[in-house]
């Protein structure tokens, strides 16, 4: 359409919160000619069309992908492999593919399997902008503003492909970082996947009790914040847990050891040790909050 | 001072977030003649004086308490006993004493010990308005608006004493509930004390690692909310953990069993079970959020 935009055609697989916000941000920045969407249900794609996220709902995957400058895979992690298998034979010589998966080693393994000799055209990425809401209706053009996007480039990626993905995320207002896929998965197991598991576990445990109504009735703002992430998408988090299973198991075991030690201190009524642990945690949390500012 | 106010003189022990906000709210509602404060340091009392929380810094405990209509003990739970011992001999015939402790069975036990035959003048209470900030500077007149305050009245309390404490909290805009002290402590172990312990444990565990800077650098909004309560006051939370030790140990053991089960599912890569757990948690958390509205 608009030949002047850096990205003539962008194809998104999944036009929900993540893919939809990406499309809206590129459009708001005047960076894209047209956005074409594929997805699991026609209903959600039509909704994305009505919301101005998509210009067209795609019909012929081969044709759309061949002529695309950039393809974003923004479906649940568990579906990445299937999508890759379908698009791999159709890549144009200029097509760059990226993804938005919360885990990276599994995505890279799937990409190597499906893209084969064209793996250089796939640049893995993870935008860190979770939200407990999902779907096209939750998408917004400013979701990625001042948020981090982690690229985990492959040795096979050429500079131009990496620059293409960086440019797209920069146009969304994101701060771009690079890690190896393995580093990425270990870091996010600790600071994201484990907290989600812990929060789900607490709410699930309480929800199974006979007196749950009474308990929830007295839960206040501390509970609200601690459990906000327990309202996250079950299917998405199932896939993340399975994809990053080994790193997450390691984090879970470290955390259980920490809880065991705290239990011992509590059992022994060791107030000095409890206060010391709480004090170290408080300082670290406050320092983090201050460094982070409003983000 | 103003003979028309329902409470001629209110004495607060501790003029920080909790006691200070109580004083400011009563003043804003025109419910109090004067507020007199006692505390651990003259510096914090003078700050409360400058902020308009106190009308006077108390000097003679016996005199002030004898002529007070209402005394609020809003010091750390671990100091309640000492304060009770000092005020018990000085209660006037009209003086009603209440507290703001986050645990109740220990406070009631201490009150029985110190107030003896005058235990009927002590009405235990717990305003549920935690905040990670503390001190007089954090106090605000609207802290308790639409928040719950749980009274755990004693068989010895007469109706007038209970009505006095209810009236004071109602003037602060609070929603007043009643529970037994034992019920209170079991409920709050589950929905407040345990989440605090879990959040402290996570941040403490990460803060002890060599790569903590890298980890914290990639922590995002999920981590921010999950760990907000890990910035809570270490001394206060030490006292709460010790005071409610048995109920908290029981909750911690239930939670560890829950984590063990989740670990098994993860180890077995049982995606169906993980999704089921996450789905139950999400529904319960969403229902709770909706019932609670903006609170």
pLDDT digit string (tens) for B55-93?
999 999 999 999 999 999 998 777 889 999 999 999 999
Contacts B256 to A, Cβ<8 Å: 256, 259-260, 263
Average pLDDT over residues A241-245: 95
- Does the beta-carbon distance from A285 to B235 stay under 8 Å? no
CATH of A7-179, one of 3.40.50.720, 3.30.1330.120, 3.40.50.970, 3.90.10.10: 3.40.50.720
Q: Which one of A212, A226, A260 has the shortest CB-CB distance to B199?
A: A226
- Does the beta-carbon distance from A197 to B262 stay under 8 Å? yes
Report the chain B residue with the minimal C-alpha distance to residue A263: B249
Task: Give pLDDT, residue B131.
Answer: 63
pLDDT at A131 exceeding the cut of 70 = no
Average pLDDT over residues B27-46: 95
Check if the beta carbon of residue A1 is closer than 8 Å to that of residue A30.
no
Q: What percent of chain A has pLDDT over 90?
A: 90
Task: Give pLDDT, residue A129.
Answer: 85
ipTM rounded to 2 decimals: 0.90
Residue range A60-72, pLDDT digits in tens: 999 999 999 999 9
Backbone angles phi, psi at B12, to 5 degrees: -115, 135
Q: Which one of A128, A177, A190 has the shortest CB-CB distance to B215?
A: A190
Cα torsion A20, B284, B149, B179 to 10°: value is 180
Q: Look at residue A158 and give its three-state secondary structure.
A: coil
Averaged pLDDT score across all residues of chain B: 94
pLDDT at B295 exceeding the cut of 80 = no
- Does the beta-carbon distance from B212 to A292 stay under 8 Å? no
Contacts A194 to B, Cβ<8 Å: 202
Task: Give pLDDT, residue A294.
Answer: 53
Task: Give pLDDT, residue B2.
Answer: 41
Task: Give pLDDT, residue B78.
Answer: 76
Q: What percent of chain B has pLDDT over 90?
A: 90
Residue position matching structure tokens 């929380």: B53
B275 to chain A nearest CA, in Å? Answer: 5
Q: A42: left (phi > 0), else alpha (psi -120 to 50), else beta?
A: alpha
As a whole number of Å, the end-to-end CA separation of chain B is 36
Average pLDDT over residues B154-159: 98
| For chain A, counts of helices (H) and of strands (E) | 13, 9
Q: Which two tokens stand for residue A294?
A: 């409003």
B110 to chain A nearest CA, in Å? Answer: 18
Backbone angles phi, psi at A105, to 5 degrees: -65, -40
Contacts B224 to A, Cβ<8 Å: 289, 292
- Does the beta-carbon distance from A284 to B249 stay under 8 Å? no
Q: Which one of A234, A263, A271 has the shortest CB-CB distance to B279?
A: A234
pLDDT at B1 exceeding the cut of 60 = no
Q: Whole-angstrom Cα distance, residue A6 to residue A103?
A: 28
Check if the beta carbon of residue A77 is closer than 8 Å to that of residue A51.
no
- Does the beta-carbon distance from A202 to B198 stay under 8 Å? yes
Suggest the residue from B128, B204, B235 to mutate for an interface test with chain A (most A CBs closer than 10 A).
B204
Contacts B125 to A, Cβ<8 Å: none
Task: Give pLDDT, residue A5.
Answer: 82
Residue range B251-288, pLDDT digits in tens: 999 999 999 999 999 999 999 999 999 999 999 999 99
Task: Give pLDDT, residue B293.
Answer: 75
- Does the beta-carbon distance from A242 to B292 stay under 8 Å? no
Q: What angle do CA A281, A282, A286 make, to 5 degrees?
A: 120
Q: A135: left (phi > 0), else alpha (psi -120 to 50), else beta?
A: left
Average pLDDT over residues A212-232: 94
A45 to chain B nearest CA, in Å? Answer: 24
Domain boundaries, chain A: 7-179, 184-292
Q: Whole-angstrom Cα distance, residue A182 to residue B68?
A: 65
- Does the beta-carbon distance from A220 to B191 stay under 8 Å? yes
Cα–chain-centroid distance for residue B178?
15
- Does the beta-carbon distance from A242 to B191 stay under 8 Å? no
Task: Give pLDDT, residue A84.
Answer: 97
Task: Give pLDDT, residue B123.
Answer: 98
Backbone angles phi, psi at A34, to 5 degrees: -150, 150
Question: When comparing pLDDT for B276 and A294, which is higher?
Answer: B276
Return the axis-axis angle of helices B245-267 and A245-267, rounded to nearest 10°.
Answer: 160
- Does the beta-carbon distance from A222 to B229 stay under 8 Å? yes
- Does the beta-carbon distance from A215 to B190 stay under 8 Å? yes
For chains A and B, count residue pairs whose Cβ atoms are closer than 8 Å.
281
- Does the beta-carbon distance from A237 to B191 stay under 8 Å? no
Query: Which residues, 6 or more positions from A57, have their beta carbon under 8 angstroms from its beta carbon?
Result: A36, A37, A38, A42, A45, A46, A49
Average pLDDT over residues A226-249: 94
Cα–chain-centroid distance for residue B18?
8
B255 to chain A nearest CA, in Å? Answer: 7
Task: Give pLDDT, residue A134.
Answer: 79
Q: Which two tokens stand for residue B214?
A: 């890298």
Q: Is the dihedral of CA A21, A26, A30, A36 positive or negative?
A: negative
- Does the beta-carbon distance from B285 to A231 stay under 8 Å? yes
Q: What angle do CA A21, A25, A30 make, to 5 degrees?
A: 150
- Does the beta-carbon distance from B222 to A192 stay under 8 Å? yes
Suggest the residue from A106, A179, A201 to mutate for an interface test with chain B (most B CBs closer than 10 A).
A201
Task: Give pLDDT, residue B294.
Answer: 53
Least confident of A255-259, A289-293, B155-159: A289-293
Task: Give pLDDT, residue A4.
Answer: 65
| pLDDT confidence band for A2 (50 / 70 / 90) | very low
Averaged pLDDT score across all residues of chain A: 94
pLDDT at A1 exceeding the cut of 50 = no
Query: What does the H/E/C string look like for chain B?
Result: CCCCCCEEEEEEECCCHHHHHHHHHHHHCCCEEEEEEECCCHHHHHHHHHCCCCCEECCCHHHHHHCCCEEEECCCHHHHHHHHHHHHHHCCCCCEEEECCCCCHHHHHHHHHHHHHHHHHEECEEECCCCCCCCHHHCCCCCCCCCEEEECCCCCCCHHHHHHHHHHHHHCCCEEEECCHHHHHHHHHHHHHHHHHHHHHHHHHHHCCCCHHHHHHHCCHHHHHHCHHHHCCHHHHHHHHHHCHHHHHHHHHHHHHHHHHHHHHHHCCCHHHHHHHHHHHHHHHHHHHHHHCCC
Least confident of A70-74, A194-198, A247-251, B236-240: B236-240
Q: Whole-angstrom Cα distance, residue A38 to residue A200?
A: 31
Report the chain B residue with the minimal C-alpha distance to residue A239: B271
Q: Hey, what CATH class is B184-292 in? A: mainly alpha
Contacts B208 to A, Cβ<8 Å: 280
Q: Whole-angstrom Cα distance, residue B187 to residue A35?
A: 51
Q: Whole-angstrom Cα distance, residue A245 to residue A227?
A: 22
């Amino acid at each position: 359409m608009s030949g002047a935009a850096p990205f003539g055609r962008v194809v998104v697989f999944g036009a929900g919160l993540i893919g939809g916000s990406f499309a809206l941000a590129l459009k708001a920045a005047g960076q894209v000619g047209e956005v074409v969407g594929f997805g699991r249900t026609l209903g959600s794609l039509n909704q994305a069309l009505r919301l101005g996220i998509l210009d067209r709902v795609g019909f012929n995957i081969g044709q759309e992908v061949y002529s695309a400058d950039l393809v974003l895979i923004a479906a649940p992690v568990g579906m990445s492999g299937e999508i890759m298998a379908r698009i791999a034979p159709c890549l144009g010589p200029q097509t760059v593919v990226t993804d938005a998966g919360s885990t990276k080693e599994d995505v890279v393994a799937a990409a190597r399997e499906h893209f084969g000799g064209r793996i250089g055209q796939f640049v893995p990425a993870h935008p860190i902008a979770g939200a407990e809401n999902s779907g096209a209706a939750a998408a917004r053009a400013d979701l990625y503003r001042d948020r981090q996007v982690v690229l985990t480039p492959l040795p096979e990626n050429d500079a131009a492909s990496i620059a293409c993905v960086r440019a797209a995320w920069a146009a969304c207002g994101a701060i771009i970082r690079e890690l190896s896929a393995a580093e990425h998965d270990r870091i996010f197991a600790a600071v994201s996947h484990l907290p989600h598991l812990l929060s789900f576990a607490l709410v699930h445990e309480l929800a199974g009790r006979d007196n749950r109504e009474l308990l929830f009735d007295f839960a206040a703002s501390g509970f609200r914040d601690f459990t906000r992430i327990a309202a996250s998408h079950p299917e998405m988090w199932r896939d993340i847990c399975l994809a990053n299973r080994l790193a997450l198991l390691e984090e879970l075991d470290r955390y259980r050891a920490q809880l065991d030690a705290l239990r011992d201190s509590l059992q022994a009524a060791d107030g000095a040790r409890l206060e010391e642990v709480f004090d170290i945690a408080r300082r670290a949390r406050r320092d983090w909050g201050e460094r982070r500012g409003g983000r």
